[in-house]
Amino acid sequence: MARKNVQEERRNQILKALQRCLLSKPFNETSIKDIAKAAKVNHGVLHYYFKSKEDILLNFIDYIISSYRGMYQEWAAGQDMEGMSHQELLRRSLIFMNERITLNRDLSRIFVEIGEIASYHRKVRTKLRQAYMTWIDTFAGVARKAGLSEGESGRFSRALIAYYEGMSLFSVIMDREEFDAEGILSWFQDQVMAAMVR
């Protein structure tokens, strides 16, 4: 088991290094040696732990998706659901998305990058699709409980996640002052909540 852990440790170290690399360069322009340097390991080991650059990418996608998902689960676990209305849960979930995901510029950059890679890379696309579906289902569940119909909640969560993705992209591309992502996100949330109550 110790063996296994050391292995796992090293692999994570490398994937985290890639994450840091992607903040300054697209995956395509990031060389194996760049990643190795960021991970402070010899570039040869990358081929020991992963069978190719593509293999690193695929593992990275899993890693980033699960850490992204982990953020939500950790947050959800910390919420005192007892006596909280479903509407309130939805409201807080939206706030979480705004603050921790969409306005997290580094995370947004990574997701823009992954999205682009997925658009050309079938395997990555499959992984990303599943992640989005999981995410959509999670929100659809919350919406369902908050009173939306089966069909409504599905459409609602799809549109919502799409909107968050768009806002992510804009938080990366647009000028902070000119665009005011924060203001738009909270305004939009109010709109959504108002519509729910109706």
Pick 150 or 178: Cβ nearer a copy of itself: 178
Which residues in 132-162 are b (16+ Cβ under 10 Å) and which e?
Answer: beebbebbbebbbebebeeeebbebbbebbe
* Cα end-to-end span (Å), the chain: 56
Binding status of residue 58 toward DNA by CB under 7 A: no
The verdict on 31 binding DNA (CB under 7 A) reads: yes
Residue 26: CB atoms within 10 A of its CB come to 13
Q: Which is nearer to a copy of itself, 12 or 96 (CB)?
A: 96
Beta carbon of residue 22, minimum distance to DNA (angstroms, whole number): 13
- Report helix, strand or coil for 133: helix
C-alpha 52/C-alpha 49 separation (Å) is 9
Q: What is the SS3 assignment for 23?
A: coil
- Interface mask toward a copy of itself for 78-117; x: CB under 8 A: -------------------------------x--xx-xxx
Rule CB under 8 A: say whether 163 interacts with a copy of itself: yes
Residue 51 as a binder of a copy of itself (CB under 8 A): the answer is no
**# binding residues, a copy of itself (CB under 8 A):** 44
* Site of interaction with DNA (CB under 7 A): 3, 6-7, 10, 29-34, 41-45, 47-49, 51-54
